[in-house]
């Protein structure tokens, strides 16, 4: 646990008692603060009370009279589509609003560091797609190369659940726009930007607000090194803002699909090969086609981001490459489940939007595609250029018929359920083809989460292959 610093003897309110909220309350208490907690759910309040925390109804008048700060869980909207009433009450009472990420950055460094030979560092990764894989890959590379490391944030553990840093340790944090938008302190040593595509637009008041939320990690955080994906205009804009000119190697530009030139520090992947250039010369390369855990151009971009971040820490290209070969991938993200009779079964349930599903379609050929679910705004037009990779689509979800109608030119069968889709795809598939779950939609019409959807796919595949 990271005890929260700066609130000793002060009352701090915690709104939201999910994973991060509970960890925040415990870390505040460990640091000498007096946490008072609230959640709209009665069961969450009861569990917090049983754990020894004081419950305070933050909806009541005067609830903030003695409160030094309000700490908000990331799932609670604070501004768009409209301010949460409790957060608005904190504003009116002139009570600072923060989140667990802000508390982490203000509390991570301790006097013990004066005795360390090597100062601990924090790598923070944000972006629309690929940030989970990039974060996990960086962590894996560090561990495989003998560097102590912990992984947390939007993936795995809450940031305040981490252990206090060891000598030379590297903390790897995946940060969503929900987390970067509100944190009052953002000070990573290395910040990574994967890419930007439309997502969570209602939460941020549009695409500009979404970009601004992620940009805070770089503009307000002031990292020593910034790794920026420049395949979209926003990334090129951000890299230009951070750079002091040609050859400024504090900014590392990365790309998947285009060769990057110039005197700066760049890492890019083309036709399956990663290349590192510095001051106009190639200094490293990796054949990514041989790495099973990172299939497709989208994962090659993740590989570039992870490689660049690890190079800033002084790791050598050969050590990074060896670690990439042992990387097994994340559950529900281009995850190989089984192979039978020359047919591969891939779980990419995390492909919850059109852009991430399009990347999955580009990663494979001859696809038996299981798709569908709760559609997001914008329609499915972004998938149409990649339907030539699809032999047949098997559509699930409550909106399956409407989803199938939008797949213009594709052979699409409405299956409704995962079990029916897997059974039919398995029966139709021939050697050399891939049965791919990449829904291009949210899961909430049939499942509690994309993880549950992926687990159902895995269970159905195992049943079909038994």
Mind listing the pLDDT tens digit for each residue in 388-405?
A: 999 999 999 999 999 999
The pair phi, psi for residue 339, each rounded to 5°, is -135, 135
Q: Check pLDDT > 90 for residue 65.
A: yes
What does the pLDDT read at residue 330? 86
All residues at 6 or more sequence positions from 40 whose CB lies less than 8 Å from its CB, including other chains: none
Determine the Cα–Cα distance for residues 390 and 428; give it in Å rounded to an integer: 13
Asked if residue 129 belongs to a known ligand binding site, the reply is: yes
Mean of pLDDT over the chain: 95
pLDDT of 295 reads 87
Q: Which residue has the higher pLDDT, 290 or 385?
A: 385
Whether residue 132 is annotated as binding a ligand: the answer is yes
Quote the CA–CA distance of 420 and 155 in Å, as a whole number.
31
| Structural domains of the chain sorted by starting position, each given as residue range(s) with its CATH number in brackets | 11-98 (3.40.50.720), 105-325 (3.40.1190.10), 335-465 (3.90.190.20)
Say whether pLDDT at 67 is over 90.
yes
SS3 396: strand
Alpha carbons 162 and 176: distance in angstroms, whole number: 18
**Is 443 flagged in the annotation as binding?**
no
Query: In 3D, which of 289, 291, 264 has the Cα closest to residue 276?
Result: 264
Q: What is the largest CA-CA distance in the chain?
A: 68
Please indicate if the annotation marks 326 as binding a ligand: no
Banded pLDDT at 200 (limits 50, 70, 90):
confident
Cβ(193)–Cβ(229) below 8 Å:
yes
131 in a labelled binding site: yes
**The pLDDT of residue 174:** 97
CA distances from 326 to 306, 309, 321, 452 (A): 14, 18, 9, 26
Q: Is the pLDDT of residue 93 over 80?
A: yes
In tens, the pLDDT along 414-462 reads: 999 999 999 999 999 999 999 999 999 999 999 999 999 999 999 999 9
The H or E element that residue 335 is part of is: strand 335-340
Confidence category of residue 308, pLDDT binned at 50, 70, 90: very high
Rounded-to-integer distance, Cα 175 and Cα 430, Å: 40
Half-sphere exposure of 75 (CA within 13 A, CB side): 9
Please give the pLDDT value at position 176.
94
Task: Report the alpha-carbon distance of residue 357 to residue 437 in Å, rounded.
Answer: 9
Confidence label for 366 from pLDDT (cuts 50, 70 and 90): very high
466 with 377: CB under 8 angstroms?
no
Nearest CA among 103, 67, 97 for reference residue 79: 97
Concatenating the DSSP letter of every residue in 277-331 gives EETTEEEEEEEGGG-TTS-HHHHHHHHHHHHHHHHHTT--HHHHHHHHHT----T
Q: What is the mean pLDDT of residues 307-316?
A: 97
Joined tokens for residue 153 = 């944030």
pLDDT above 80: residue 87: yes
pLDDT 10s digits, 224-280: 999 999 999 999 999 999 999 988 999 999 999 899 998 999 999 999 999 999 998
pLDDT tens digits, one per residue of 25-53: 999 999 999 999 999 999 999 999 999 99
Sign of CA dihedral 303, 307, 308, 310: positive
Q: Is 130 annotated as a binding residue?
A: yes
Q: Say if residue 299 carries a ligand binding annotation.
A: no
């Amino acid at each position: 646990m990271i005890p929260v610093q700066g609130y000793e003897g002060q009352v701090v309110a915690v709104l939201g008692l999910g994973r991060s909220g509970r960890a925040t309350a415990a870390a505040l208490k460990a640091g000498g603060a007096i946490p008072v907690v609230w959640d709209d759910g009665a069961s969450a309040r009861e569990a917090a009370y049983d754990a020894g925390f004081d419950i305070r109804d933050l909806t009541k008048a005067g609830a903030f009279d003695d409160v030094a700060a309000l700490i908000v869980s990331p799932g609670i909207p604070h501004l768009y589509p409209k301010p949460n009433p409790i957060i608005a009450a904190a504003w009116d009472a002139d009570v600072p609003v923060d989140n667990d990420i802000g508390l982490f950055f203000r509390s991570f460094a301790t006097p013990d560091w004066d005795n360390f030979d090597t100062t601990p560092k924090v790598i923070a990764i944000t972006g629309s797609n690929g940030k989970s894989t990039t974060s996990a890959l960086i962590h894996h590379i560090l561990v495989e190369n003998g560097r102590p490391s912990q992984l947390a944030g939007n993936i795995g553990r809450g940031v305040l659940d981490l252990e206090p840093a060891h000598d030379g340790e590297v903390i790897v944090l995946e940060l969503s726009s929900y987390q970067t938008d509100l944190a009052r302190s953002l000070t990573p040593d290395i910040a990574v930007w994967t890419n930007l595509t439309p997502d969570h637009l209602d939460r941020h008041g549009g695409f500009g607000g979404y970009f601004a939320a992620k940009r805070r990690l770089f503009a307000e955080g002031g990292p020593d090194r910034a790794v920026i994906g420049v395949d979209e205009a926003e990334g090129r804009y951000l890299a230009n803002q951070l750079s002091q000119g040609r050859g400024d190697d504090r900014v590392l530009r990365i790309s998947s699909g285009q060769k990057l030139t110039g005197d700066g520090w760049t890492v890019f992947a083309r036709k399956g090969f990663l290349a590192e250039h510095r001051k106009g010369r190639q200094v490293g390369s990796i054949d990514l086609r041989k790495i099973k855990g990172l299939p497709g151009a989208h994962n090659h971009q993740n590989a570039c981001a992870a490689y660049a971040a690890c190079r800033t820490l002084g790791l050598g290209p050969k050590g990074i490459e060896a670690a990439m070969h042992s990387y097994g991938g994340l559950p529900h993200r281009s995850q190989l489940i089984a192979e039978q009779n020359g047919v591969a079964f891939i779980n990419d349930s995390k492909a919850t939007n059109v852009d991430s599903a399009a990347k999955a379609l580009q990663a494979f050929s001859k696809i038996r595609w299981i798709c569908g679910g709760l559609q997001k705004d914008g329609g499915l037009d972004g998938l149409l250029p990649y339907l030539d990779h699809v032999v047949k689509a098997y559509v699930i979800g409550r909106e399956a018929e409407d989803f199938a109608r939008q797949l213009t030119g594709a052979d699409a069968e409405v299956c409704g359920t995962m079990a029916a889709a897997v059974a039919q795809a398995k029966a139709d598939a021939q050697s050399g083809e891939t049965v791919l779950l990449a829904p291009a939609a949210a899961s909430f019409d049939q499942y509690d989460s994309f993880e549950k959807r992926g687990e159902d796919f895995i269970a159905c595949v195992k049943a079909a292959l038994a």
